Structure 1
Amino acid sequence: MKKSSYISALFVSACCVAATAPAFAQAAPDSEIKEIIVTAQNRKENVQNVPIAISVVSGEALKSRGVTDFTSVQKVSPALQITSDTNNTRVTVRGIGSLTNNEAQDQSIAVNIDGEYLNRPTILNAAIFDLDRVEVLRGPQGTLYGRNSTGGAVNFITRKPGERNAFNGSVSYGNFNALHLEAGADLVLGEAGAIRVAGFFRQHDGYSYHANTPFSPSAAFVPSTSNRSDDDHTGGVRISMRLKPVAGLTIDGSVEHVEQDVIPAAQMWTDMTGAAYNPGTSTTTCGNGWTVAGTTVGGVQCVPSNINVQAGRDRSTFNSPLIGVGSLHQISTALRARVAYDLGFATLTYTGGYRSTKNTGGNALSPAFFFTNYGGRVKTQSHELRLNGTMGGVQWQTGVFYFYEKQNTNGGLYSPFIGANGSYVNYFRHPTNSKSLSGFGQVEVPLTDKLTAVVGARYTQDDRDAAFTNYAFAFGSGPIELTTQPSTTTQLGYSGSKFTWAAGLNYKPNSATMIYAKVSTGYKAGGFDGAGTNFRAETNTAYEGGVKLKLGQHILNFAGFYYDYKDLQNDVLLNPAIGAQTFNAGKARIYGLEIDSTLRITPNDTLTTSINLLHAKYVDFTASIASYNIGTAPTSPLTANLAGNRLPQTPNFVITLGYDHVFRLGGAGTLTFSAFTRYKGNYYLDFYNYASARQGERTQTDLSLEYKPANKRYSVQAFVRNLEDYRSMAYAGNTVVPGVANIYNFQFAAPRTYGVRLGVDF
């Protein structure tokens, strides 16, 4: 689909529905803190009555804060950390996450769109649009719904068709030639139901500039000539339906199609073999910030523990890989359905989703590699059948969940500098099938009129199988799809099961206070890595307590937690010829404190604050390490116990402060000034805790000024995001290709952006 087609599909479909709308939905008043209703426990309830540490943000607030893709969701939940490595999205909650591309490894954080479970890091980068709200749940959630999770869940709830004909839309424009269009329309079909058509298109020029001129000695390879990377051209359409054909029956269905064309962010890179950064030639010590990690025949093994090769460099202007930048295209189509029927004594609900995603293109990697992709495909389906109700004051729910994923990778690491036509360092096809079947249930039993006991359980069976085909070094092949070169195929399999549970007490002394304490367990299945080696499942036993208070117009919440985490799955690239390898950390200890508040100081002034303190370290973790060897190369990789190291993407603190002031202009409407700043502590992007992978503490501030007339039918907003114009690290890693390269790579988050946004709501 061409870019212009996105815009046409968006506005033609939405405006056609809007043209038939004689009545319009009205906006809610904003004179007080609104009650936030969530479905985190599969029933509608005030978020202050939910015994879960949860962040909830409405769709309108997401638009106002500039949340247009998954990565930017972390703006609204301090415990959520999201980074992007080229086209892969990494999600971490309270120190728990998956930094992997492994076909046989799941995400530690369950991500769902209307109950559809998303698992691959490339699919997580799917566009987020036309949302009703986002719910970020912290801690294991396995006894409640869907796929098991060790660290938490992120639920995207899309906007459903309303009960009135309505139209809403927005357009924003800003620096980097950034354009964002979004629109949706509801059409009521009478008493039977309604449909909603929504779509979007967004684009921006590349955030990173590269002054070097790409080149290739291979006539078979033609590099990209773009001098920018990290751009975006994405668009899509969703058609939703809500039917109520008979009393007690509600049917929700949607079909969604999204296409994305991007030049992925090129990595800043440093050649570690250069004189300024290599460890020298001494056979007893390591120089330039390298440290001795082991010995070999006639020398030492050095690792870059204390060298910071990116300090002081411009994070927006730097040389791309020698062959230029890449280009990726992703097409994703999803079907989702939810059918709920009130049986009287209980409600029976089916939730299902099907998605097909295809990726093509290639990604340039330093110093002069190109990772080809000849049609990586992922097909998933998830099904959940649930029965929940209330009997004698006891609230109960039970259900079964099934997930199936079929995927295939087809490409490899190509260098145009090896041989006349260029050669593949590696090339592989990894068709992988994953299945997960589970049964779960939870009951809430009132012990007194104020005290409730909660007990839940889940049993999960996971199975995987694959045929990993790795092609031999293909000298002089050219950048083509390999089919006939020598290769080896390994049949792989994994099967495992786990019983997990949750137990807790909820005390509600009055309507404004909720005190809870619970213990829950989480589980993530094991699998196999690129080397054909199996790794174990990881588990988490989580202890948590909290208090939720509503003090008049003010809200104050506390949560403390302690995680006993075992067998964490960690990936490291030791040999590009076989891909990343996965190691289980013996044990990690994670604990922290979270405080958040919403204070209505005056009818026109609102102050929001949060404090998140986090300790997340490995207690026992023996892992292999890529080393720079002085002397005879060892026959086996270097190993070390990384006990005491911090988990990746775990800032030791995150403090946020938000302020909103409404200037009331009488009959002319309102003018709202909003300021939000986040102060994030330091963290590492790898589990080695190398100095080059350390992101220092910093602030990020967003400002906006929005005008709405008295009828609230439209709005005009001026905004600036990341006022400091500081690009924090999103990826850092040391890549070693024996005999070819020793490179440190980096990627960075978005710089300062600013612009104006016009919205309409009828």
Structure 2
Amino acid sequence: MQVGQISAKHFGVSVLALGISLGVAPRLYAQAPNAVGDNPGSQVSSSEVSEIIVTAQKRSENLQRVPVSVAVATASQLTNSGVTDVQSLKMVAPGVEVQSNNGYAYPIIRGVASKGSGAGFESPIAFYVDGVYYANATANILSFNNVSQIEVLKGPQGTLFGRNATGGLIQVTTRDPRSTFGGDVSLSYGNYKTFKGTLYLTGGLSQNLSADLAVQGTAMGDGYGTNLFNGKDVYKIQHDISARSKWLWNAGPATQLRFIADYTDTRNSMNAQRIPLGGTAAPPFGPSYGGSEWDVDGDTMPLVTVKTGGVSLRVDHDFDAVQFASTSAYRKTDFTFDNESDFTRTRGRVFGEDQNDWQFSQEVQLLSPKTSRLKWVVGAYYFKAGSRYPRFILSNFGVAATAFSSSSTLSNQNTDSISGFAQATAEILSGLSLTAGLRYTHEKRELTDASTTTVALNGTATVVAPGDQSLLFKKLTWRLAMDYQVTSDVLAYISYNRGFKSGGFNASALTLPPFEPEVLDAYETGLKTTFLDRHVRLNVAGYYYDYKNVQAQRSVNGSTGIYNGAAAEIYGFDGQLQTQISSKLSLDFGYQFAHGKYKQFPGALIAAPSAAGGYTLTPGDASGNTTLLTPKHSLSAVVNYTVPFSEGKLGFNASYYYNSGFFQDPDDVLRQPSYSLINSSVRWTSPGDRYSISIWGNNLTNKAVTNLYSVNSQGGIRGVARANYAAPRTYGATLGLKF
């Protein structure tokens, strides 16, 4: 049987399972109201699941009317579930994972991901804040403050959004300022002597002008772990300070302007890495060591510093016959990190990097009037960016610390991209609508001032300078979708989307050739339903991805390079069930099944355990292996229960997340085992919601979950496994005031 036939069969099974879940779930839930009603003294509340407005199609629409798979987390859901940064999103959005390495964010949606990091690299998962694309992965490990809601769009975004993305996008929307004075302040203290404060102020400056200011700061007195070499703390936030201000000017009855400025300064050792417990070091750097997962044993202290900020201006005007929107933005990021590269106390390999990034983007949209039966949008997007290495150095020391070699790389990677797009939705029959969209992208990549200087142990210097180079990519992408409003509470849809991510240069591994664009064709069918008098919302989708020319990453003598050569297929289904059983009790569930395989992957980097310690790295065939970072099953469950009484109300929250485990690299050697996470909180709120006290705990079972787990090249064919871990058990209390 051919691969295409197998894929179609599997896709059909996924859709059938989706249908079964729709048929069974309502009947299972239908017993819940009766059970509540049978309890003496209780009554069934008329409360409904709240309406959610999204901008997945560049206009404000009810989530249940949009034929796109979207996971949404509101501000209250994020707070109740202990989600304070982008890496915790999986607690409320199953199928979404954000890992990190040395300060770079690695988002994963439905098994589409990249662990590539460096100057000019962009993720296949696009990241937006208030409509502005953040190209730099070092600026995307955000702590949330002043968030209104977060939308996760699953599948390729090759039509409406600024940068093409093969896997999806994460879109953060912050609150708009109000004309009346108000705000809130909170102060938290937790274990590891963790202090966090937030402040939000808003008010009117004139009749038509309002503004706000959101500030947050975090500092830790103790780290999660210790550097056994010198007794100093690691996994410690020295400071994380951010400020964001939005100004809203109602310039006329049909005109609004939003100006936003933000800045973040963070310094931490969250990039700490170690040889995993039970692992072995690569010779000749010495034996492995014990301690906890959060302990390291290196002669160089890990450190990450990020200073990032930007400004943007959004202009909206309604011309009656057409709506106009313009978003202009500029951002700048300075990033540096230093770390061990042999992960032992032996003076072996030390790595350091400085990376400077800037970007400018301009988007213009024309949209159909709000009352138009034909919904359309036409626009253009321009993006220009530069990313450079003023310092990228790997130092190798001999065992006796008398011999020395180094490799130093300087380079710049520039991007100049312009695209035009259009999408329209028309009701062709009663309740039946057709959506069609196109996007054409013209993108140029340049590598300039690039050189690598290698100094051998005998002092001989070798310089690799490839000269200035450029690449040009031209690509047409699209979206086709059909949806049918079965009833006022049931929407069925089917879609076909193509997304692409442009190629580029390996700015930190100049011996590797440029990499080509990757393309993903996505076929999806789904249902969006609301039932039981709007007490229940169930949205499900089945999908099949045909993933070509996958941009895979590999470790090359301490740096990360990207190369093509893989073709993959990923299929599965996911869904979210949200219930409002009564005004006091809500239950939310999310589930994703994903099956990903490399159909072809010759020339992959394969790691094999070495009898002498560490791993041997050689080219091999990864065809048939599981796609990296793709758990077969992931599940989330959130329960919220509120108890009102004369002195206010108590809110109880419990959040659960399960992941069946996944392989970290295409060679299927290192695997994150299955794991579960539990967060919980109890919150008292005074009458009128003015004062609040919260007691909270995250990762209550103290599970060690890897942020990074991969084989790092030690030069030649030698390699060693390294690991970095997400936060252990944390707990504390928060005092809040609203005014």
Q: TM-score, normalization: structure 2?
A: 0.86
Provide the rounded CA distance (Å) in 1 between the counterparts of 2:316 and 2:477. Answer: 27
State whether structure 2 residue 382 is matched by structure 1 residue 402.
Answer: yes
Q: Is 2:557–2:716's contact at 8 Å kept on the other side of the alignment? A: no
Which residue identity is paired with 1:237? Answer: A
- Corresponding residue number in structure 1 for 2:190: 174
Shift of 1:230: 4.3
- Corresponding residue number in structure 1 for 2:655: 676
The Cα offsets for residues 199-228 of structure 1, whole Å up to 9 and x where unpaired, read as 1101235554235224xxxxxxxxxx6242
- Corresponding residue number in structure 1 for 2:710: 733
Are the structure 2 counterparts of residues 685 and 675 from structure 1 closer, same or farther at C-alpha, using a change threshold of 3 Å? same
Equivalent residue in structure 1 for 2:210, among 194, 201, 204: 194
Equivalent residue in structure 2 for 1:146, among 142, 159, 162: 162
Q: Is 1:419–1:475's contact at 8 Å kept on the other side of the alignment? A: no
Equivalent residue in structure 2 for 1:86, among 87, 102, 124: 102
- Corresponding residue number in structure 2 for 1:520: 497
Shift of 1:754: 0.6
Provide the rounded CA distance (Å) in 2 between the counterparts of 1:194 and 1:545. Answer: 43
State whether structure 2 residue 390 is matched by structure 1 residue 384.
Answer: no
- Corresponding residue number in structure 2 for 1:687: 666
- Corresponding residue number in structure 1 for 2:415: 434
Q: Is 2:47–2:580's contact at 8 Å kept on the other side of the alignment? A: no
The Cα offsets for residues 127-163 of structure 1, whole Å up to 9 and x where unpaired, read as 4321111110101122122111111110011111123
Provide the rounded CA distance (Å) in 1 between the counterparts of 2:686 and 2:609. Answer: 68
- Compare 493-502 and 228-237 and name the one that shifted more: 228-237
Which residue identity is paired with 2:263? Answer: H
Which residue identity is paired with 2:340? Answer: A
Which residue identity is paired with 2:367? Answer: N
SS in structure 2 opposite 1:163? coil
Shift of 1:345: 0.7
State whether structure 2 residue 240 is matched by structure 1 residue 234.
Answer: yes
- Corresponding residue number in structure 1 for 2:328: 352
State whether structure 2 residue 429 is matched by structure 1 residue 448.
Answer: yes
Shift of 1:586: 3.2
Q: Is 1:574–1:626's contact at 8 Å kept on the other side of the alignment? A: no
Are the structure 2 counterparts of residues 648 and 395 from structure 1 closer, same or farther at C-alpha, using a change threshold of 3 Å? same
Q: What is the percent sequence identity of the aligned residues? A: 24
Which residue identity is paired with 1:656? Answer: S
Equivalent residue in structure 2 for 1:582, among 553, 559, 562: 562
- Aligned residues: CA RMSD: 2.7
User: Where in structure 2 are the equivalents of 1:264-413 lying within 5 Å?
Assistant: 264-269=270-275, 270-273=279-282, 315-321=292-298, 323-367=299-343, 368-373=348-353, 375-390=354-369, 393-409=373-389, 410-413=391-394
State whether structure 2 residue 475 is matched by structure 1 residue 493.
Answer: no
The Cα offsets for residues 291-311 of structure 1, whole Å up to 9 and x where unpaired, read as xxxxxxxxxxxxxxxxxx99x
- Compare 43-52 and 247-256 and name the one that shifted more: 43-52
- Corresponding residue number in structure 2 for 1:263: 269
The Cα offsets for residues 543-562 of structure 1, whole Å up to 9 and x where unpaired, read as 00111111122111111101
Provide the rounded CA distance (Å) in 1 between the counterparts of 2:136 and 2:721. Answer: 25
The Cα offsets for residues 561-619 of structure 1, whole Å up to 9 and x where unpaired, read as 0111101101101334xx33322133101011112111222332111112211101111
Are the structure 2 counterparts of residues 705 and 32 from structure 1 closer, same or farther at C-alpha, using a change threshold of 3 Å? farther
Provide the rounded CA distance (Å) in 2 between the counterparts of 1:277 and 1:560. Answer: 49
SS in structure 2 opposite 1:711? helix
The Cα offsets for residues 657-680 of structure 1, whole Å up to 9 and x where unpaired, read as 221111121x32211111111111
Which residue identity is paired with 1:365? Answer: S
Provide the rounded CA distance (Å) in 1 between the counterparts of 2:382 and 2:546. Answer: 28
Provide the rounded CA distance (Å) in 2 between the counterparts of 1:421 and 1:377. Answer: 33
Provide the rounded CA distance (Å) in 2 between the counterparts of 1:617 and 1:434. Answer: 32
Are the structure 2 counterparts of residues 495 and 723 from structure 1 closer, same or farther at C-alpha, using a change threshold of 3 Å? same
Are the structure 2 counterparts of residues 628 and 586 from structure 1 closer, same or farther at C-alpha, using a change threshold of 3 Å? closer
SS in structure 2 opposite 1:738? coil
Provide the rounded CA distance (Å) in 1 between the counterparts of 2:662 and 2:594. Answer: 11
- Corresponding residue number in structure 1 for 2:545: 563
Q: Is 2:223–2:233's contact at 8 Å kept on the other side of the alignment? A: no
State whether structure 2 residue 478 is matched by structure 1 residue 472.
Answer: no
Q: Is 2:552–2:566's contact at 8 Å kept on the other side of the alignment? A: no
SS in structure 1 opposite 2:689? coil
Shift of 1:418: 7.2
- Corresponding residue number in structure 2 for 1:33: 49
Provide the rounded CA distance (Å) in 2 between the counterparts of 1:746 and 1:420. Answer: 25
Shift of 1:366: 2.2
SS in structure 1 opposite 2:467? strand
Which residue identity is paired with 2:228? Answer: N
- Corresponding residue number in structure 2 for 1:604: 584
Provide the rounded CA distance (Å) in 2 between the counterparts of 1:604 and 1:518. Answer: 38
Q: Is 2:285–2:342's contact at 8 Å kept on the other side of the alignment? A: no
- Compare 538-547 and 488-497 and name the one that shifted more: 488-497
Shift of 1:231: 3.2
Q: Is 1:414–1:422's contact at 8 Å kept on the other side of the alignment? A: no
Are the structure 2 counterparts of residues 318 and 629 from structure 1 closer, same or farther at C-alpha, using a change threshold of 3 Å? closer
Q: Is 2:260–2:311's contact at 8 Å kept on the other side of the alignment? A: yes
The Cα offsets for residues 27-86 of structure 1, whole Å up to 9 and x where unpaired, read as xx9954321112221222211111111111122332333322221223221111111112
Are the structure 2 counterparts of residues 694 and 626 from structure 1 closer, same or farther at C-alpha, using a change threshold of 3 Å? closer
The Cα offsets for residues 403-450 of structure 1, whole Å up to 9 and x where unpaired, read as 111111122112455787874431101111012211111000111231
Q: Is 1:371–1:414's contact at 8 Å kept on the other side of the alignment? A: yes
Equivalent residue in structure 2 for 1:52, among 37, 46, 68: 68
Equivalent residue in structure 2 for 1:244, among 250, 257, 261: 250
Q: Is 2:47–2:582's contact at 8 Å kept on the other side of the alignment? A: no
Q: Is 1:348–1:385's contact at 8 Å kept on the other side of the alignment? A: yes
Which residue identity is paired with 2:719? Answer: N
SS in structure 1 opposite 2:252? coil
Provide the rounded CA distance (Å) in 1 between the counterparts of 2:219 and 2:609. Answer: 45
Shift of 1:703: 0.9
State whether structure 2 residue 165 is matched by structure 1 residue 184.
Answer: no
Shift of 1:385: 0.4
- Compare 422-431 and 174-183 and name the one that shifted more: 422-431
Which residue identity is paired with 1:671? Answer: L
- Corresponding residue number in structure 2 for 1:136: 152
Which residue identity is paired with 2:368? Answer: G
State whether structure 2 residue 90 is matched by structure 1 residue 110.
Answer: no
Q: Which runs of 5+ in 1 are unaligned?
A: 1-28, 215-224, 279-308, 478-483
Shift of 1:337: 1.2
Shift of 1:490: 3.1
Are the structure 2 counterparts of residues 426 and 142 from structure 1 closer, same or farther at C-alpha, using a change threshold of 3 Å? same
Are the structure 2 counterparts of residues 558 and 229 from structure 1 closer, same or farther at C-alpha, using a change threshold of 3 Å? closer
- Corresponding residue number in structure 2 for 1:746: 723
Q: How many residues align?
A: 675
Q: Is 1:418–1:475's contact at 8 Å kept on the other side of the alignment? A: no
Are the structure 2 counterparts of residues 701 and 637 from structure 1 closer, same or farther at C-alpha, using a change threshold of 3 Å? closer
Shift of 1:94: 0.3
Q: TM-score, normalization: structure 1?
A: 0.84
Shift of 1:627: 6.0
User: Where in structure 2 are the equivalents of 1:655-670 lying within 5 Å?
Assistant: 655-665=635-645, 667-670=646-649
